[in-house]
Amino acid sequence: MIRPAELIERKRDGGQLTAEEITELVFGHSRGEIPDYQLAAFCMAVYFRGLSAEETLALTNAFVRSGSTLDLRSELGRTVVDKHSTGGVGDKTSLVVGPVVAACGVPFGKMSGRGLGHTGGTLDKLESISGFRVELSNEEFVAQVREIGLAIIGQSPDLVPADKRLYALRDVTATVDSIPLIAASIMSKKIAAGAEGIVLDVKVGNGAFMKSLADARVLAESMQELGRGAGRRVVALLTDMDQPLGWAIGNAIEIEEARAMLTGAETPPDLFSLAIQAAGQLLALSDLSIEAAEGIKRAEQAVDDGSAAELFERWIAAQGGDLSAGLPTAPVSRELTADRDGFVGEVSALGLGRVALELGAGRRTTDDAIDHAVGIRCFAKRGDPLEAGQTLAVVYGRDEAGAGRALEQIQQLIGIVDEPQPPRPIVLETLA
Just list the catalytic residues. Answer: 84, 163, 170, 185, 189
Q: Least distance from C-beta 402 to its own copies, angstroms?
A: 23
Beta strand extents in 275-331 (DSSP E only) = none
How long is the chain? 432
Q: Which positions touch its own copies (CB under 8 A)?
A: 4-6, 8-9, 12, 35-41, 43-45, 47-48, 169, 171-175
Q: Least distance from C-beta 173 to its own copies, angstroms?
A: 4
- Kindly tell me which of 61 and 185 has the beta carbon lying closer to its own copies: 185
Q: Least distance from C-beta 40 to its own copies, angstroms?
A: 4
Q: Least distance from C-beta 205 to its own copies, angstroms?
A: 19
CA distance 425 to 404: 32
Q: Is 405 exposed, middle or buried (0-12, 13-18, 19+ CB in 10 A)?
A: middle
Q: Least distance from C-beta 363 to its own copies, angstroms?
A: 14
- Kindly tell me which of 36 and 346 has the beta carbon lying closer to its own copies: 36
CA distance 304 to 317: 22
- Kindly tell me which of 7 and 101 has the beta carbon lying closer to its own copies: 7
CA distance 304 to 45: 51
Q: Is 105 exposed, middle or buried (0-12, 13-18, 19+ CB in 10 A)?
A: middle
CA distance 353 to 376: 9
Beta strand extents in 284-422 (DSSP E only) = 332-337, 342-347, 375-378, 385-386, 391-397, 414-417
**Short-list 136, 159, 152, CA closest to 101:** 152
- Kindly tell me which of 298 and 363 has the beta carbon lying closer to its own copies: 363
- Kindly tell me which of 87 and 90 has the beta carbon lying closer to its own copies: 87
